[in-house]
Amino acid sequence: MTSAKQILHTSETRFRARYSETDKMGVIYYANYLVWMEMGRTDYCKSVGFDYRDMELDGANMAVAEATCRYITPARYDDEILVRTQVERLNRRLITFTYVVSNDQTGTVLAEGRTVHIAMGNDGKSRSIPQRYVQLMKAAALSS
């Protein structure tokens, strides 16, 4: 028996924490973790074979319906950050991503997050995700 967690396709995003992302407490400001999650989503799409900007050009935007972040250890300026991104749930109208943000040098987990997205057309109305993108994401999940 294999656990569901093990077989999920995971993308990895690496970068250094920016000075602009710090706050007067000396650590990374909490809203920036949502920016980092968005970078994780961009790379997740690339890792399964498409560019998110092409999906937008096809008239499908992934509007965020919900975002959650649990802050475990503060990140600091110039830390090497690793964001691991997975798709937890996927259908034609909705995608749920999960994220683990860690310090890439020490391995320390900094934060864990989840975002739920609903496909929206350029008119702001909900629509279904174009079949091509759903298939690429499902294929990646199965091949992992």
- Count of other CB atoms within 10 angstroms of residue 106: 11
| Minimum CB distance to a copy of itself smaller for 75 or for 140 | 75
Q: For this structure, is 23 an active site residue?
A: yes
Cβ neighbours for 34, distance < 8 A, ≥ 6 positions apart:
67, 69, 113, 115
How many whole angstroms separate alpha carbon 100 and alpha carbon 69? 10
| Minimum CB distance to a copy of itself smaller for 65 or for 138 | 65
Which of 5, 7, 12, 18 is close enough to bind a copy of itself by CB under 8 A?
18
Distance of CA 36 to the CA centre of its chain: 8
Task: Please tell me whether residue 24 binds a copy of itself under the rule CB under 8 A.
Answer: yes
| Residue 133 token pair | 């993108």
Stretch in the footprint of a copy of itself (CB under 8 A) among 16-24, 81-89, 97-105, 128-136: 16-24
How many whole angstroms separate alpha carbon 119 and alpha carbon 128? 6
| Minimum CB distance to a copy of itself smaller for 26 or for 107 | 26
First to last CA, the chain: 15
The count of chain residues that interact with a copy of itself, using the rule CB under 8 A, is: 39
Say what the alpha-carbon torsion angle 93, 115, 134, 3 is, to the nearest 10 degrees: -120
| Residue 118 token pair | 């609903």
Residue span 45-84 as binding mask against a copy of itself, x where in contact by CB under 8 A, dash where not: ------xxx--x----x-xxxxxxxxx--x-xxx------
Binding stretches for a copy of itself (CB under 8 A): 15-16, 18-20, 22-27, 29-32, 34-35, 38-39, 42, 51-53, 56, 61, 63-71, 74, 76-78, 124
**Which residues does the annotation mark as catalytic?**
23
